[in-house]
């Protein structure tokens, strides 16, 4: 496998996806002081306690410590998705703690910000005692949210995963597709009563959520891609293939 060729191929592919809202290759070298979005939106992020230059699945990656590491992107319009907006998120991740939850990408309140935790997020979360992919759209987590989880166990600390979610914008479980390594999951519905806004004034983040942050991701991440439409199966599979994970 020619890693360099795959790295170039994946970056070129991601930056040319129609509807690209943001793309973070996470390929900055050690000592970098910003996380570059190479989409035309240039939504560069500010890192805190992030190790740059780690060896990733394809090229360099960020290492997040699961305690304080985050990249703050800001409260920007192009990432302010409503429950009526279709969008997709893809990322390549590897956990460094076996049984730990954490946000991969989120624009969501933390519980300390507001108990309702309004917003959206893609995370690895515990379901029935197993870490799995989870996607949440939330007005109020207690009474007005759509939460879907995957079926593939994501507990390994040595395995890289290409994870993805697509959402069609109609607030229903059938709108959500979850993927691991280009394979469509059979999702489990955790909650399905979303009927009100998920908009908030919280900054979007890689690796955590909220202003008073929580649920930090423990592991490595790279090639984070956010798109303002529903990606199809072939597009998600191409991403996983170029990552050498399909």
Q: In the predicted model, is pLDDT for residue 171 greater than 50?
A: yes
Measuring CA to CA, which residue among 103, 133, 131 is closest to residue 119?
103
Q: Across residues 16-36, what is the average pLDDT?
A: 92
Q: In the predicted model, is pLDDT for residue 94 greater than 60?
A: yes
Percent with pLDDT over 90 in the chain: 90
Reduced to 3 states (helix: H, G, I; strand: E, B; else coil), residue 98 is coil
Q: Across residues 65-86, what is the average pLDDT?
A: 97
| CB contact set of 105 (below 8 Å; sequence gap of 6+) | 89, 91, 121, 122, 204, 205, 206, 224, 226
Q: In the predicted model, is pLDDT for residue 7 greater than 80?
A: no
CB 99 within 8 Å of CB 117? no
pLDDT value, residue 8 = 63
Q: List phi, psi (to 5°) of 185.
A: -80, 160
Q: In the predicted model, is pLDDT for residue 1 greater than 70?
A: no
Q: In the predicted model, is pLDDT for residue 4 greater than 70?
A: no
Tens-digit pLDDT profile for residues 179-214 = 999 999 999 999 999 999 999 999 999 999 999 999
Q: What is the rounded CA–CA span in Å between residue 179 and residue 171?
A: 19
DSSP element (H, E) containing 123: strand 119-127
Tell me the CA distances in angstroms from 213 to 67, 119, 148, 222, 245, one per residue in order: 10, 14, 22, 21, 31
Indicate the DSSP class of residue 110: -
The confidence band for 246, taking pLDDT boundaries of 50, 70 and 90, is: confident
Half-sphere exposure in the Cβ direction for 188 (13 Å, CA): 14
The confidence band for 2, taking pLDDT boundaries of 50, 70 and 90, is: very low
Q: Across residues 214-242, what is the average pLDDT?
A: 97
Tens-digit pLDDT profile for residues 104-145 = 999 999 999 999 999 999 999 988 889 999 999 999 999 999
Measured on CA atoms in the order 232, 237, 242, 243, is the torsion positive or negative?
positive
pLDDT value, residue 126 = 87
**Average of per-residue pLDDT values in the chain:** 94
Q: In the predicted model, is pLDDT for residue 37 greater than 50?
A: yes
Q: List phi, psi (to 5°) of 64.
A: -110, 135
Q: Across residues 45-49, what is the average pLDDT?
A: 96
| CB contact set of 56 (below 8 Å; sequence gap of 6+) | 26, 92, 160, 220, 222
Tell me the CA distances in angstroms from 30 to 36, 63, 170, one per residue in order: 14, 11, 42
């Amino acid at each position: 496998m020619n890693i360099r060729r795959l790295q170039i191929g994946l970056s070129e592919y991601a930056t040319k996806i129609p509807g690209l809202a943001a793309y973070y290759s996470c390929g900055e070298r050690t000592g970098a002081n910003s996380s570059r979005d190479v989409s035309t939106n240039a939504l560069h992020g500010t890192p805190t306690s992030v190790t740059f230059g780690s060896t990733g699945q394809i090229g360099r990656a960020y290492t997040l410590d699961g305690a304080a590491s985050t990249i703050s992107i800001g409260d920007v319009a192009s990432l302010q998705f409503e429950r009526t907006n279709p969008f997709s998120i893809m990322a390549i991740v590897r956990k460094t703690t076996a049984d730990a939850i954490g946000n991969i990408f989120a624009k969501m309140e933390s519980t300390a910000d507001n108990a309702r935790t309004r917003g959206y997020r893609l995370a690895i979360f515990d379901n029935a005692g197993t870490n799995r992919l989870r996607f949440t759209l939330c007005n109020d987590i207690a009474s007005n949210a759509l939460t879907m989880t995957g079926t593939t166990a994501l507990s390994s600390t040595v395995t890289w995963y290409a994870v993805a979610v697509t959402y069609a914008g109609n607030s229903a479980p059938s709108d959500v597709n979850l993927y691991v390594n280009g394979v469509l999951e059979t999702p489990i519905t955790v909650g399905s009563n979303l009927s009100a806004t998920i908009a908030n004034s919280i900054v979007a983040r890689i690796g955590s959520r909220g202003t008073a942050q929580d649920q930090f991701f423990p592991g490595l991440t790279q090639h984070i891609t956010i798109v303002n439409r529903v990606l199809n199966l072939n597009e998600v599979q191409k991403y996983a293939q170029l990552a050498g994970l399909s």
